[in-house]
Amino acid sequence: MLKFSGIALGLVVVVLALWSWVSLSWVYSDGERAGYVQKFSRRGYVCKTWEGQMAMVTMPGTLAEKFDFTVREPDVAKAINENIGSRLVLHYEQHKWIPNSCFGETEYFVTKVTVAESPQPLPAAPQPGVPASPAPAPAAVPQPVPAH
């Protein structure tokens, strides 16, 4: 009986290890998302991972969509920490069916970060009754000199 339970336990460990390896090496989808990182912290009691949240705003005045993500690579976490407050483009890989939160709390793993160019500010709208810019002074037209 002891031999059977040892084999069963070993089989369970092998299946869990294989499941973890497949779920972490197989990429379901990948892509990029741009926005402003509003929350980024290192979390976990035993397995420490960087967990973050990015606000993605499509147009000024609209509600921001939130993107929760995990960072496992220290260089990527350092780049995000150095550029918080800037508009960032995060390249991510989505891994489905991760068996344990020790690998990360989300299924979106950020693998690369770049600082996005900030959009050029729009010109200010002219206010009613106020000219947008001062009118140019009229150019002096040379007058012919009368002959005497």
Residue reference for tokens 């084999």: 7
Q: How confident is the model at residue 97 (pLDDT cuts 50, 70, 90)?
A: confident
Dist CA 17 CA 11 (whole Å): 10
Share above pLDDT 90 across residues of the chain, in percent, rounded to a whole number: 39
Mean pLDDT of the chain: 81
Which candidate, 95, 125, 122, places its Cα nearest to that of 110?
95
- Assessment of whether the complete model's pTM goes beyond 0.75: no
Taking only Cα atoms into account, the Rg of the chain, rounded to an integer number of angstroms, comes to: 29
Q: What residue spans define the domains of the chain?
A: 2-115
Residue 117 half-sphere exposure, CB side, CA atoms within 13 Å? 3
Distance of CA 3 to the CA centre of its chain: 51
Architecture of domain 2-115: Beta Barrel (2.40)
The model's confidence at residue 114, banded by pLDDT at 50, 70 and 90, is very high
